[in-house]
Structure 1
Amino acid sequence: MEIINMFNRGNRKIENDVKVNSTTSGGDNYERIKELIKDADAVIIGAGAGLSTSAGLQYGGERFESNFKEHINKYGLTDMYSSAFYPFKTQEEKWSYWSKHISINRYEFKENGVYRNLKEIVKDKEYFVLTTNGDHLFYRSGFDSNRIFATQGDYGLLQCAKACHYKLYDNEDIVYEMIEKQKDFKIPSELIPKCPVCGGDMEVNLRKDNYFIQDENWNVAFENYENFVSKHKKDKVVFIELGVGMNTPSIIKYPFWQMTNSWPNATYVTINKGQAYAPNEIKDKSICVDDDIKLAINKIL
């Protein structure tokens, strides 16, 4: 398996096609995972959108429809994921939607216990979290902030849309002011976030274009992750991948496969309903659990 890890500040590369071998879960897998974690020197968690979905953070269905009924009627929006890319005609309209999107997904959402139970599983272990989720749930659930690397940004932060400088700004106060004062699907023009340096528009700090800002905190988190990985590469390590699909596999999935293959004492565990698989090259070092993440974590706990 020739997978080359090209992390380089969030950019990775896969050289050759990976032959995938699908496996199924069984009752014994949970006992095996428990024993692996118990005996591990370190646990590295890789978390994608599927983990937050299992925690109740649904971007579609009733949760979307109940919170955005009026926006749906006006713009024909179908879910919160695609709505994030909707071409609103004005900044006033855009932030009318985005203020609500941020408030319910970053500040108000109460997870159903999945994150807290996951923390309970690893609380006495050397652990690190690598996540593509921007919902801040690992931080809010009590995981050590020095052991989290959120690679794709945070709903709670604003940046210059053109990245004219590398500073991020908390947005909670302005978000709730936008919600309070908006009318007819528009916020007051004076509330449009403007860059304090260049005067241009601001954006939510999410990796969606070449202007994504990686500030000092991002770089510290990256270095913490690199140091953790370097420290434990010869130890008994369990990679636990939760809800990671093929949207951005080069950030978590491919590197986990590569490290499992090259590290002598590593094991790869993936829990993902309908998407639990591993390459043939690491078949004997993998446990693939095709199950609901919330139920699986409860069983492991």
Structure 2
Amino acid sequence: MKFLKKLVKKLRKEDNQTMTESTAQLAHNWIKDADAILVTASNGLSISEGLNLFTNDKKLKEVLGVLVDKYPIQNLLSAFSFPYKNKLDHWRAIARIVEYYGNNYETSNYMSDIKDLIDNKPYFIWTSNVDHHFSLAGFKNVFEIEGNWFEGVCSEHPEKHGIFQLGNKLHEIYQKDQTGALTEADIPTCDKCGSELDLNMAGDNFQVNQKQVTKLQNFLETNENKKLVVLELGIGPRNQMIKMPTMQLVAADPNAHYITINQGQLMIPNEIADRSIGFDSSLASTFKEILSGKSFGAKTQAPKKKEAPKQLSPEEAQEQEKALQKFYPNYMVDQGFRMGTFPMYMTIDQDHPSYLHTTQYGQGLMYDMGDAAIVHCFTQEGQYYKVRLGLDKSKDEVHSFYVDPGTFIAIEDADDTGAGFSLINTEIPTNGNGAVLVPKYDTLLRLFPEQREIIERLTVKQ
């Protein structure tokens, strides 16, 4: 019996290794045979290069110095928009970040691997990263959809006065800051009206680089119906500004292929599953596999046939509807085509809250109308927090936020405007199995004793 178990285990291991090997070879062949390559990239690539905008680590102090002691800055991203006591500290923070991660940037192994993957093929880079690393690494065809921190715009007339190049000015600010010679006369201003400049990054004054947009459009039109490969690097499910349109691009072109690399979170919709490969692995190990066509242990998702949605019997559909009402009261799913997801609208009121539940994927929640909504969140790490969805910033309300996978949530109507209801919208993946996970009452109460009232009121007893 032990011999049989070992034999079965060995055969399964060999079968998995063969599948992984064939997936690596297939990805290698897709890249090799491609007529053109569209590289898309987000935070996963930046983090791999050592730039994490979202973490509070020792590098934060190394980059910002005494500003971290002077202000409660949580991470590099917040450093750009923090309400400093004076403008000089604002520009000190910007100049220090840009000097450290921009002016001192050296082309990484990741950028070298991307160049090797592209080889001499027509290519374009589409990124939401603001670090400008692709251009600094020598790539010419780049669209930075959220701008970059080497550019500025007039704070008073951003559209009219155009985009300013700030690289040299920020380096000058950094040097004067280090010698104690920085004054308000060094603050970057618009040469047309004298107003202070803002960084040309996502925000109210952000100006898209139309030349980059036109170049990307020309690239896509030129390679329409050719063998295009979309190589997606470190883009999580919540980054819909790049992920969604590129998946739609692949869906519309039967000759296109999609390779996504994102450790921990792969999202490949059913519509393009037959022409897609996912690498749930680091960029370094995945690049090694794709370049060589050999497996080195990366976890992969091979192409698979499109699955027809399971048809429920009328009785099953009725039972499912009855069960879902506890978690998605008065919900409506928009069956209109949107790559990878169905929009879902949910109306809650005082008598019909959304009880504690989680799904097998992360999801964004957005306020639509009516009263504010209170979202109670219980994380896998044992933390509780709540979010008010609405439009009143004086009440710390936010219009939308993202719930990480595995978080148990309950939503109730704040009943604060007299509307008597709150309308929330979210999205559900088309390739999900629809499973709704319900926490055990006793376990939840034991882990979160301080939230007893919420748990007792908003948990479905099993």
Shift of 1:186: 9.6
**TM-score computed with the length of structure 2 as normaliser:** 0.55
Distance in 1 between residues matched to 2:271 and 2:167, nearest whole Å: 46
Matches within 5 A, 1:4-153: 26-59=20-53, 60=55, 61-143=57-139, 145=140, 147-153=141-147
Aligned to 1:177: 172
Amino acid at match of 1:233: E
1:294/1:185 Cα in 2 relative to 1: closer, same or farther (>3 Å)?
farther
- Cα distance between partner residues in 1 of 2:178 and 2:213: 41
Contact in 1 for aligned 2:106/2:137 (Cα 8 Å): no
Give the 3-state SS of the residue equivalent to 1:133 in structure 2: coil
More strand by share: 2
Q: Distance in 1 between matches of 2:171 and 2:219?
A: 37
Q: What's the Cα RMSD here?
A: 2.1
* Alpha-carbon contact 2:41-2:129 (below 8 Å) kept: yes
Is residue 198 from structure 1 mapped to residue 198 from structure 2 by the alignment? no
Contact 1:41–1:126 at 8 Å: present in 2 too?
yes
- Please give the per-residue CA displacement for 1:134-162, whole angstroms capped at 9, x wherever unaligned: 2221112222x2x2212211211222123
Number of the residue aligned with 1:207: 202
Between the two proteins, what is the percent identity of the paired residues?
27
Contact 1:58 1:64 in 2 (8 A): no
Match in the other structure for 1:275: 265
1:237 aligns with 2:228: yes
Shift of 1:115: 0.8
Q: Is the 8 A contact 2:228 2:256 kept in 1?
A: yes
Of residues 200, 212, 221 in structure 1, which corresponds to 2:212? Answer: 221
CA apart distance, 1:26 = 3.6
Indicate which of 229, 251, 263 corresponds to 1:261: 251
| Aligned residue type for 1:53 | I
Letter in 2 for 1:88: Y
Q: 1:273 is paired with a residue of what secondary structure?
A: coil
Letter of the 1:192 partner, please give it: I
The structure that has the greater radius of gyration is 2
Q: Distance in 1 between matches of 2:159 and 2:21?
A: 53
Measure, in 2, the Cα distance between the counterparts of 1:247 and 1:180.
38
- The superposition leaves residues 27-56 of structure 1 with CA deviations (integer Å, 9 ceiling, x where unpaired) of 433221110011111111111121121122
For residue 223 of structure 1, what is the amino acid of its counterpart? T
Give the 3-state SS of the residue equivalent to 2:160 in structure 1. coil
- Counterparts in 2 of 1:41 and 1:167: CA distance versus 1, 3 Å: same
C-alpha contact (below 8 Å) 1:193/1:201 kept by paired residues? yes
Give me the whole-angstrom Cα distance separating, in 1, the residues matched to 2:182 and 2:238: 33
Q: How many residues align?
A: 270
Contact kept, 8 Å, 2:225 with 2:255, in 1: the verdict is yes
In 2, Cα distance between equivalents of 1:74 and 1:185: 17
* Other structure's SS at 1:277 match: coil
CA contact under 8 A between 1:116 and 1:142: conserved in structure 2?
no
- Structure 1 unaligned runs (5+)? 1-24
Q: For residue 184 of structure 1, report the CA deviation from its aligned partner.
A: 11
Deviation at 1:167, TM superposition (A): 2.6
**How far does the alpha carbon of each residue in 1:164-213 deviate from its partner, in whole angstroms, 9 at most, with x for none?**
5343222233222222323899941111111112221101111222x212
Q: Is the 8 A contact 1:46 1:240 kept in 2?
A: yes
Is the 1:29–1:289 Cα contact (8 Å) retained in structure 2? Answer: no
TM-score (norm 1): 0.83
The answer (yes or no) to whether the contact 1:55–1:294 under 8 Å persists in 2 is no
- Give the direction of change, closer, same or farther, for the CA distance of 1:105–1:241 in structure 2 (3 Å limit): same
How far apart, in 2, do the equivalents of 1:270 and 1:116 lie?
A: 18
Asked if 1:155 is matched to 2:145, the reply is no
Partner of 1:286: 276
Gaps of 5+ in 2: 1-18, 292-462
Displacement of 1:89 = 2.6
Amino acid at match of 2:239: T
Higher relative contact order (CA 8 A, sep 6+): 1
